[in-house]
Amino acid sequence: MLNLFRANPLHEAAELAYRRVVEHARRPGFFLDGGVPDTVDGRFELICLHAFLYLHRLKREQPQAARVGQRFFDTMFADFDRSLREMGTGDLSVGREVKRMAQAFLGRIAAYEEGLAADDSVLRPALARNLFGTAPPTEARLAAMAAYLRREAAEFERQEAAALLAGQIAFGEPPAPAADAAPGPPGQE
C-alpha cells in the first residue's frame, strides 16, 4: 500500500521531459519567425521534432535510457490521446488516430536521423515535408530550421546523461528570423 504513495522517479523524469518538450515547442518564435504553421499539425510536428532530439540523445545512454525513453513515449501518446478526445474525436476513432500519429512520429525519427547523418540536401526536404507540411517554407526559413536542428542535436550531446535521464532537458532559442521571411502581422515586431 505504501508503494502507491511513493514518488516514481522514472515516471517523474518522463513527465518532466515531456513537459519541457511541449513548453519549448509552443514558443511563438517557431510560428512567427520560423514559419511553422500555427495549426494542430504544426504543433504536432514541433512536438515530434523536439521529442526526437531528446530520444535521439538518449540512445547513447543505453541500457538505462530504454525505460525512460519508453515512458516518455507512453506519456507523449497518452497526451495525444487526451488531446484528441478534448478536440471531439469520437471514442471509436481515437485509437486509430493515435496509431497513425505513432507511425508518423516513427517516420519522423527515421527521416531526421537520416538527415542529421547526411547533409542538408537530405535534412531540408525532411523538414519541408514534415515540419512545414502544407505551408512551403522559404529557403531562408528552411535553412534556419535545419541549422537549428543540427545545433540542438549538438547541444544535447553536451548535456549530462544524469540530467537527461532525470528529464532535465534544455533547449536553445528558436531559429532567428530569416532574412527573406514575410513580415508578421502589424504591431508584432
In whole angstroms, give the CA distance from residue 44 to residue 37: 10
In whole angstroms, give the CA distance from residue 104 to residue 34: 22
The verdict on residue 3 lying in a domain is: no
The verdict on residue 131 lying in a domain is: yes
Residue 128: pLDDT band with limits 50, 70, 90: very high
Neighbours of 161 (CB within 10 A): 13
List the grid coordinates of 17: 521531459
The verdict on residue 72 lying in a domain is: yes
Please give the residue that has the higher pLDDT: either 187 or 100. Answer: 100
List the grid coordinates of 91: 471514442
The verdict on residue 173 lying in a domain is: no
The 3-state secondary structure of 90-119, one letter per residue: CHHHHHHHHHHHHHHHHHHHHHHHHHHHCC
**What pLDDT is attached to residue 88?**
81
HSE of 85, CA atoms in CB hemisphere, 13 A: 9
> Mean pLDDT lowest for which of 23-37, 63-77, 127-141, 168-182?
168-182
**What pLDDT is attached to residue 8?**
86
The verdict on residue 66 lying in a domain is: yes
The verdict on residue 15 lying in a domain is: yes
Span 72-81, pLDDT tens digits:
999 999 999 8
* Domain encompassing residue 43: 9-165
Tally of domains within the chain: 1
Q: Is pLDDT at 174 greater than 60 in this prediction?
A: yes
In whole angstroms, give the CA distance from residue 44 to residue 24: 12
Over the range 41-70, which residues count as b (16 or more CB within 10 Å of their CB) and which as e? bbbbbbbbbbbbbbbbbbeeeeeebeebbe
Mean pLDDT score across all residues of the chain: 89
The verdict on residue 38 lying in a domain is: yes
**What pLDDT is attached to residue 4?**
53
Residues 6+ apart with CB under 8 A from 116: 56, 123, 149, 150, 153
The verdict on residue 2 lying in a domain is: no
Residue 134: pLDDT band with limits 50, 70, 90: confident
Neighbours of 112 (CB within 10 A): 23
